Amino acid sequence: MEDNIVNLEDIITGCRQQHRLSQQRLYSHFYNYAMTVARRYMGSQEGAEEIVNDAFFKVFTKIHLYSSEQSFKPWLRRVLVNTAIDRLRTQINIPSGTELMEFHDHGKLSGIEEEITREQIWLMLDRLPPAYRTTFNLAVIDGFSHEEIAQSLQISVGASKSNLSRARQYIRNMLKNEFEFFD
C-alpha cells in the first residue's frame, strides 16, 4: 500500500508541474519497487537500472495520463512492464508470427519452494533465454493471459504458450541439476 496518500498526491501534482524535487521524491519513493519489477525481466542489474530510468522518464513525460482515481503503483508497474517489453522485443530476435513447436508441460514443482532462496530464483531466471524469461514473468508473475502476452511481444498465442512451457522446463532442469532434493 502506498504510504501517505495525501503526500503522494502532492508529489504527483508537483510532477505534473515538472518540479524536479517532486520528480526526485517520486523516483526515490518507488525506486526499490521499480527495480524489483524491472529486475525480473532483465538478465542483469544494469539492464534493470536502464529499464527503471527509461520508465521514470516515461512517467514524468506522461504523468498527465495518470488518473488519481486509480492507485499509482499499478500504473507505474504497467509502465515498467511495457518499458521492459519494448526493450526485450528488440533483443529477443523472434520474427513476428513465428510459430514455435508446441510443447506440453506435465511436470509440477511442489514442496521445494521453501528450500530455494530468492537469490537462487533470480539466478535461475537470469539464465533463461530472454524470450522465455519475459513470457514466464508476464504469465506467472504478472498474470497476463497468453493473448495479452502475444499482443505485447508481437508473437502468436502458440509461441507464448510454447515459451512458457519451455521456461518451466528450463527451470525444472536447473532444479534437477542443482538441487539433490528435486526429482
Q: Best-predicted range by mean pLDDT among 56-70, 96-110, 169-183?
A: 56-70
Distance CA 129, CA 57 (A): 27
Distance CA 16, CA 89 (A): 30
In the structure grid, which three cell numbers stand for residue 91, read together? 533483443
What was the pLDDT predicted at 68?
A: 85
- Summarize pLDDT for 2-30 with one digit per residue, the tens: 445 559 999 999 999 999 999 999 999 99
What was the pLDDT predicted at 56?
A: 97
Bigger pLDDT: 169 or 90? 169
Q: Best-predicted range by mean pLDDT among 17-26, 63-72, 81-90, 108-117?
A: 17-26
Assess whether pLDDT exceeds 60 at residue 168.
Answer: yes
Distance CA 142, CA 55 (A): 17
Where do we find the cell 524536479?
Answer: 20
Distance CA 79, CA 134 (A): 15
- Angle (CA) 175 166 129, round 5°: 85
Indicate the range of 66-75, 105-114, 165-174 predicted with least confidence. Answer: 105-114
What was the pLDDT predicted at 14?
A: 96
In the structure grid, which three cell numbers stand for residue 53, read together? 530510468
Contacts for 155 with CB less than 8 Å, ≥ 6 apart = 94, 96, 97, 98, 149, 163
Residue ranges per structural domain of the chain? 5-92, 113-178
Distance CA 2, CA 69 (A): 14
5-92 in CATH: which number? 1.10.1740.10
**CATH: 1.10.510.10, 3.40.640.10, 1.10.287.130, 1.10.10.10. Which one for 113-178?**
1.10.10.10
- Summarize pLDDT for 112-125 with one digit per residue, the tens: 455 567 777 778 88
Torsion angle, alpha carbons of 169, 172, 176, 179, to 10: 150
| 105 and 169 Cβ atoms separated by less than 8 Å | yes
Distance CA 169, CA 54 (A): 32
Rounded to an integer, the average pLDDT of 63-85 is 92
Rounded to an integer, the average pLDDT of 38-59 is 92
